[in-house]
Amino acid sequence: MKQKIESLISNVNSFIAENADHAEQLRLKYLGKKGILNDLFVEFKNVPAEQRKEVGLLLNDLKNNVQDKVNTLKEKFEQGKSENKKESIDLSLPVDYKVLGTRHPISIVRNEIVSIFSKIGFVVSEGPEIENDWHNFSALNFPPEHPARDMQDTFFIEKNPDIALRTHTSSVQVRVMEGSKPPIRTISPGRVFRNEAISARAHCIFHQVEGLYIDKDVSFADLKQTLLYFAKEMFGEKTQIRLRPSYFPFTEPSAEMDVSCNICGGKGCNVCKYTGWLEILGCGMVDPNVLENCGIDSKEYTGFAFGMGVERITMLKYSVKDLRLYFENDLRFLNQFESAY
């Protein structure tokens, strides 16, 4: 058996293949399920014990030689094919440009906002864009005479004044509070509608991301640190924020948050009205009436809420001075975001 294996090793080393098919035939002949090596390993069981070490080494040499030979031959023929292909390329043909797809800048920033808050435990909640009065107004502590209920601000459904296009994604927060128990930590991104004049700073359709956190012993300090973390993650470590007292029916106390304008570097421009600051969101502690309306014990739980316009943040992030560009589908504008994801 020893001489037989040595003879086979010699045959493999001297084997010459004319093409890739010959190399494959060599592989199957020796390494296939019904190949020579398979038969030799069966025969190896009958080799005397004192010869097994030597014969076993020869068997491994044969196997390795076959594998090396096959690999060498295949690389040789594949390299030859690639060289032939290169020679066959017609350099006079026009270039086939691959057009890259891109996300809309609003989608890019919305996804980034969601990613930032997901890092600190906020989950995404979604709801309908056509809402009833309870979820859009009443549960959020809007009194019947509140100006937001007026036709000047809200798109009501003509045949049913109790139904309207949602004016904020706070309606989603109401649904979350009604359907789950604290602790609640959620953000609600989505499209909202308000009957406003279209300008460089406002539109009748825009996008919001609203956040809600309800648990025991939640304080205004928790709200401030959460928003400071967001601002630095979104606009950079040097970003500053300021909170100004404000009023919202569903939070008390309430505040509006400004960030230092990175379009003008705080020097003043038409976007920040030459103040160096740009308002990006409203926030506050959830009013106890809202908690009670949604079936949550306001004596045991507290919470904070915030809401931001995605368009405004996108304006800051990409130094865009006219909000209308996001809705006009001008390719000269949208193509600038081809490398964004």
pLDDT of residue 256: 95
Residue type, 3: Q
Position 341 pLDDT exceeds 50: no
Q: How confident is the model at residue 237 (pLDDT cuts 50, 70, 90)?
A: confident
Residue type, 85: K
Measured CA to CA in angstroms, residue 56 lies from 5, 6, 47, 263 at distances of: 10, 12, 10, 76
User: pLDDT (tens digit, 9 = 90+) per residue, 46-72?
Assistant: 777 777 778 778 777 878 887 887 788
φ, ψ dihedrals at 124, nearest 5°: -90, 135
In the block, tokens 């069981």 appear at 45
Domain spans in the chain, listed from the N-terminal domain onward: 2-85, 105-337
Among the residue ranges 88-102, 198-212, 244-258, the one predicted with the least confidence is: 88-102
Position 225 pLDDT exceeds 70: yes
Please count the other Cβ atoms lying within 10 Å of the Cβ belonging to residue 65. Answer: 18
Is 213:251 a contact under the CB 8 Å cutoff?
no
DSSP-derived secondary structure for 280-308: EEEEEEEPHHHHHHTT--TTT-EEEEEEE
User: pLDDT (tens digit, 9 = 90+) per residue, 242-286?
Assistant: 999 999 999 999 999 998 887 676 777 776 778 888 888 999 999
Position 14 pLDDT exceeds 60: yes
Q: How confident is the model at residue 140 (pLDDT cuts 50, 70, 90)?
A: very high
74, two tokens: 């295949």
Among the residue ranges 96-105, 181-190, 212-221, the one predicted with the least confidence is: 96-105
pLDDT of residue 112: 93
Q: State the chain's mean pLDDT as an integer.
A: 84
Question: What region does 236 belong to: left with phi over 0, alpha with psi -120 to 50, or beta?
Answer: left
φ, ψ dihedrals at 248, nearest 5°: -135, 140
117/8: higher pLDDT = 117
User: Which fold would CATH assign to domain 105-337?
Assistant: BirA Bifunctional Protein; domain 2 (3.30.930)
Q: What percent of the chain has pLDDT over 70?
A: 91
Position 162 pLDDT exceeds 70: yes
117, two tokens: 């808050």
Average pLDDT over residues 117-122: 95
pLDDT of residue 52: 74
pLDDT of residue 298: 93
Average pLDDT over residues 86-108: 74
pLDDT of residue 241: 92
Position 338 pLDDT exceeds 70: no
Is pTM, for the whole model, over 0.85?
Answer: no
CA dist., res. 314 & res. 333, Å (int): 13
